[in-house]
Amino acid sequence: MKQLARQARAESRVIGLVPTMGALHEGHASLIARAKRECSPVIASIFVNPKQFGPKEDFAKYPRTFESDTEKLIKAGVEVLFAPEAAEIYPRDFSTYVQVDGLSDRLEGKSRPGHFRGVTTVVMKLLQIVQPNFAYFGRKDAQQAQLIAQMTRDLNLDSEIVVCPIVREADGLALSSRNAYLNPEERRAATVLHRALQAAKKELEAGVRDALQLQSVLQRTLGTERLAAVDYAELVDAESFEPVVRISKATYVLLAVFIGKARLIDNLYVEPKSPGSEELVFHL
């Protein structure tokens, strides 16, 4: 992989990297489509990273669909697939980790101890191996994208992090490889995340700016779904991911909700139309 990337750099080509854990869906496809518009070659990686799963999490059960993934990547026009073995990425004496302080401990990091250390470590390695000009991430994992952007700044990497919009099913459910865990009843219940975000958006559109009031709207909507168990429903500053009291600048409305055994996340990104403007723009 390094040799191939080195060659592309020597030819002054613009390298795009799309890191994934496989079980590819239209969310991944949207990242690849964006990368294809901006880069050549586009390199996709598939690596189910053991270090980002907790001991009680779904590493062993995580969907692995390598053959259909490969077909999808070929159809999408990806030039290179990097799919290393775990032993190659983490040889027996592996002992160096990347940790973004502060941001890694909140929300997803708090619910999933060690998760972000695993993510930043593997993404750092992928960025080192490929040294892409651009690396593409989904806003579905908003905190992850922010952490990776922070890491690339802090460690002076030469890759630019591009954050792409959330791709959803027709009924609003954000696409996720973990949706495969849902039975039909749970699948119907899972739309409650999107419904809660929409309810918050409606309040914001009506002029509500108080975070507590918006949070209670989220909780009320999520509470209507018997199969939903809320992990967190928070309004946070879009850079620091610290809780906000009032929505006045770029903010994430973040949800993590168990539907049966599946832990689903989703978010609404809100920003002022222009700096200082009272008018908001919504990314749902």
Helices and strands of the chain, counted as H and E runs: 10, 9
Q: Is 161 in the site for ligand AMP (CB under 6 A)?
A: no
Lay out the site mask for ligand AMP across 116-155 (x = CB under 6 A, - = otherwise). Answer: ---------------------xx-xx--------------
Neighbouring C-beta atoms of residue 231, cutoff 10 Å: 16
Catalytic-role residue among 25, 28, 115, 194: 28
Q: How far are the Cα atoms of 54, 62, 104, 165 from residue 130, in angstroms, in the given order? A: 27, 25, 24, 24
How does DSSP classify residue 86? H
- Residue 108 CA to residue 116 CA, distance in Å, equals 8
Binding ligand AMP (rule: CB under 6 A), the pick from 16, 27, 41, 132 is 27
Lay out the site mask for ligand AMP across 79-108 (x = CB under 6 A, - = otherwise). Answer: ------------------------------
Binding segment for ligand AMP among 5-13, 101-109, 168-176, 234-242 (CB under 6 A)?
A: 168-176
- ∠ CA 273-279-281, nearest 5°, is 50
Q: Is 21 in the site for ligand AMP (CB under 6 A)?
A: yes
User: Three-state SS for 98?
Assistant: coil
Binding ligand AMP (rule: CB under 6 A), the pick from 121, 176, 179, 267 is 176
Q: Which is nearer to ligand AMP, 208 or 238 (CB)?
A: 238
Distance of alpha carbon 205 from the chain centroid: 26
Any catalytic annotation for residue 25? Answer: no
| Residues belonging to the active site | 28
